[in-house]
Structure 1
Amino acid sequence: MAFEVLDEHEQGEQVQKWLRENAASILIGIGLGLLLLFGWQQWRTHRAQRHMDAAVQYDALSADVTKKDYDAAKAIAARLKSDFADTPYAVLAAMREADIATERGDTEAAHNALDWAWQHAGIDALKAVAGLNLVRVEIAQTKAQDALDLLDKLPKGGFDATAAELRGDALVALGHKDDARAAYTDALTHLDQNAPNRSFVEMKLNDLPATAVASVEKKGS
């Protein structure tokens, strides 16, 4: 019994000795931990405030677009891209800026705005939307090969029908009618029978000339 008490006493002395020798390190570790925790909370608060400020700016941009005050909207878009580039609102603002440029017939400005959105989008869904809109502009600018290259880089999922349809458009522009037919057919497989744009894709498919094999078979009959 005395041996057990002595062991416990010795262990207690060793613990106290260790605490005395390492007190400074322990206090420094606790202090660093508190600083890191405080810094993390401050960073989260700052980030939340930035997102809130960006949201307010984007709401003002949307209001200006509704009023057709495009110059004011472009100014806000520029500010969002400059000061809030790490937020989704800057990407959305760039896409609205591209809409304004497209409405004015300025495809180059639209391309620049959408390229910025594509480069800065950190969310796959936003990146896909920005990329698809950029593909449309590149096809309109007769940059069909660039459009095809960009389609290959888009995040997968969620926009398969649109991506396939645009691939068909780019292939038609390049004169690859058979490949375009396959792309439009693929787009239709991803569209519901009641999808509003299904008839438009079917029209594009039906407007393509018959395939070379079908033409030969028709002549042979």
Structure 2
Amino acid sequence: MAFDQLDEHEQSELVRKWIRDNVASIFVGIGLGLLVIFGYFQWQAHQVRQNAMAASEFVSFGAAVGAKNEQGAKTALDRIQKEHAGSTYAVIAAMRWAEGALVRKDLAGAEQSLQWAYDNAKNDAVKSLAGQNLARLKLGTDKAAEALTLLNAVPVAGYASSIAELRGDILLAQGNRDEARSAYQAALDALDATAPNRQSLEMKRDDLGTATAVTAPPAATPAAAPAAEKQNS
């Protein structure tokens, strides 16, 4: 018998019986739903707390750097990398530490810090900056092949021009002048017409001259042979 053929009393009794038979499942479903909602808000609150803590550690790191307290800065950096490795604060702190390492001429330390920043960056734009800086460092330490391999994997993330220019620098260091010129032209094509570095980029391109053309030796003209025969007769 269809449900809509029952009278109101029979329908209500049938509903109450179904509820009695399934009350456990109903409350389990409600409980699970509440747990999911509660867990989500707990996770959100945890993320907010973690970000606030990472920001506080980053401020401590920056203060130590500003005070030229190298040991204090290193301690703060180690802490933020260990406890907040997935945060942008930790990545930026690692990049800033690399700048100081370069000033101290600690090239190995700078490369290690930039590699950490590149490996742990979650944001494409930040990862691109870390990767470009690391590629420049590799280029400056005679690792042009490594620099080019890295640069080819770096996210573009709005940095098409700077990546192309850096590719040109690497190719030029490898002696690939024509490819370097093409890279500089690609950098110019991706650059805004009013960008302040446009002139210096044009100079890089123009210093390489025009692309080297491969030309075949001139072929003898058909009229040349009869003329030579006439002279010999």
Same fold? TM cut 0.5: yes
1:3-152 → structure 2 map (5 Å cutoff):
6-152=6-152
Counterpart residue type for residue 90 of structure 1: A
Give the C-alpha shift of residue 83 in structure 1.
0.7
Give the C-alpha shift of residue 209 in structure 1.
5.5
The question of 1:208 aligning with 2:208 is answered: yes
What is the TM-score when the length of structure 2 is the normalising length? Answer: 0.84
How many equivalent pairs are there? Answer: 213
Counterpart residue type for residue 23 of structure 1: V
What is the TM-score when the length of structure 1 is the normalising length? Answer: 0.89
RMSD of the TM alignment (CA)?
2.1
Give the C-alpha shift of residue 204 in structure 1.
2.2
Greater Rg by CA:
2
Identity of aligned residues (%): 45
Contact 2:114 2:133 in 1 (8 A): yes
Contact 1:177 1:209 in 2 (8 A): no
Contact 2:165 2:187 in 1 (8 A): yes
What is the aligned partner in structure 2 of residue 177 from structure 1?
177
What is the aligned partner in structure 1 of residue 163 from structure 2?
163
Give the C-alpha shift of residue 154 in structure 1.
1.5
Task: For 2:6 and 2:131, locate their aligned partners in 1 and report how far apart those are by CA, in whole Å.
Answer: 75
Give the C-alpha shift of residue 195 in structure 1.
2.0
Which aligned runs of 4 or more in structure 1 are off by greater than 6 angstroms?
none
Contact 1:70 1:100 in 2 (8 A): no
Contact 1:65 1:73 in 2 (8 A): yes
Which structure dedicates a bigger proportion of its chain to helix? 1
1:186-201 → structure 2 map (5 Å cutoff):
186-201=186-201
